[in-house]
């Protein structure tokens, strides 16, 4: 296990304590409540982000990873859903820093901004409803193992962008991922790979997918009904900096079976190596050299250990020293 990957509790832990930002102020999570009649609870009319912050014990600092990029995407998702967010990305990042400081986290955490239709209204609509905003965080380790993953191609098809916006992190859309991931887990797999409606590879259940063939890193294009991943862009930069060519193009299902390497990227999964798909070994059946090199570079970057990527990071406690 790489010591620099996320350390902490499972993503399955109950969130029952801490300080959240809700309706314009910091408050205990237990007091940040909504009605059972809330529109977003009934219809999935909300959007969210997942952001990690990594603790660097040597520097006594907590680094928010690509905070502005995440909040920019958050605002784009809100725009698609006609949700009014009364803050800029920069202001949301500052409130996140304040929330993390109020919690006095000294460990790796996962941050969840959430914007949603807060009205207690039954009408199925997006217009004419008031909106709510919350940001909270919870200590979290690896979402899935970062090595040795076994995956299967799911029978559940990835939602198309003209059905539910695939480039927005829409709360209700994640039933698609939950169905695929739960079936995969019940069948003994760690992750599900989803095809688009045209039968080509889209992404994993809640992460982007990369494969390596002939020394080239290859991933599906943004037109393949994928989420436009922040970590996906980080992989592009890391690969380019290491002289590894990157291609965005369609990927057939059977290409995965003959790939030299396959890995997943995302805030939750970080960079995670896949060694088997549909009972077929990928490459040598272990984490490949390109995946390992990108993982090492990524985990150094997210903790501020590689100064080339300090612009990825927002320190939480720097101003207090």
So which residues are the catalytic ones?
Answer: 169
Q: Find how far residue 61's CA is from the centre of its chain.
A: 22
Q: What DSSP assignment string belongs to 46-74?
A: EEE--EEEEEETTTTEEEEESHHHHHHHH
As a whole number of angstroms, the distance between CA 173 and CA 152 comes to 21
> In angstroms, rounded to a whole number, what is the distance separating the alpha carbons of residues 193 and 7?
26
Q: What Rg value do the Cα atoms of the chain yield, rounded?
A: 19
Token pair for 32: 């940040």
Whether the CA torsion 264, 265, 268, 271 is positive or negative: it is: positive
Which residue do the tokens 């990305």 mark? 89
What is the distance between the terminal CA atoms of the chain, rounded to a whole angstrom? 33
Q: What residues contact residue 194 under an 8 Å CB cut-off, 6+ apart?
A: 153, 154, 156, 157, 158, 176, 177, 180, 201, 202, 203, 204, 205
244 class by beta-carbon count within 10 Å (0-12 exposed, 13-18 middle, 19+ buried)? middle
Q: Rounded distance, CA 276 to CA 237, Å?
A: 26
**Residue of 101, 297, 320 lying closest to 217 (CA atoms):** 297
């Amino acid at each position: 296990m790489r010591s620099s990957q996320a350390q902490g509790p499972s993503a399955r832990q109950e969130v029952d304590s801490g300080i959240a930002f809700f309706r314009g102020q910091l408050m205990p999570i237990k007091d940040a409540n909504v009605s059972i009649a809330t529109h977003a609870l009934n219809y999935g009319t909300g959007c969210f982000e997942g952001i990690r912050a990594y603790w660097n014990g040597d520097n006594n600092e907590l680094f928010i990873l690509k905070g502005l990029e995440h909040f920019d995407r958050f605002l784009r998702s809100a725009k698609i859903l006609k949700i009014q967010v009364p803050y800029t990305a920069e202001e949301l990042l500052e409130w996140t820093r304040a929330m993390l400081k109020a919690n006095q986290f000294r460990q790796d955490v996962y941050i969840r901004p959430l914007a949603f239709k807060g009205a207690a209204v039954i009408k199925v609509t997006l217009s004419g409803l008031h909106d709510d905003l919350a940001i909270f965080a919870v200590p979290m380790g690896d979402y899935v193992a970062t090595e040795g993953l076994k995956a299967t191609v799911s029978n559940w098809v990835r939602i198309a962008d003209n059905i539910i916006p695939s480039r927005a992190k829409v709360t209700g859309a994640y039933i698609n991922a939950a169905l695929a991931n739960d079936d995969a887990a019940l069948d003994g797999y760690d992750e599900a790979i989803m095809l688009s409606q045209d039968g080509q590879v889209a992404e994993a259940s809640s992460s982007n997918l990369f494969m390596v063939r002939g020394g080239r890193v290859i991933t599906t294009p943004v037109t393949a009904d994928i989420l436009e991943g922040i970590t996906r862009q980080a992989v592009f930069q890391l690969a380019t900096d290491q002289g590894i060519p990157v291609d965005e193009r369609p990927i057939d299902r059977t290409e995965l079976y003959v790939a030299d390497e396959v890995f997943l990227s995302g805030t939750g999964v970080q960079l995670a190596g896949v060694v088997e798909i549909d009972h077929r070994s990928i490459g040598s059946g272990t984490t490949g050299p390109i995946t390992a090199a990108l993982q090492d570079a990524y985990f150094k970057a997210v903790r501020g250990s590689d100064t080339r990527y300090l612009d990825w990071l927002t320190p939480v406690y720097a101003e207090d020293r």
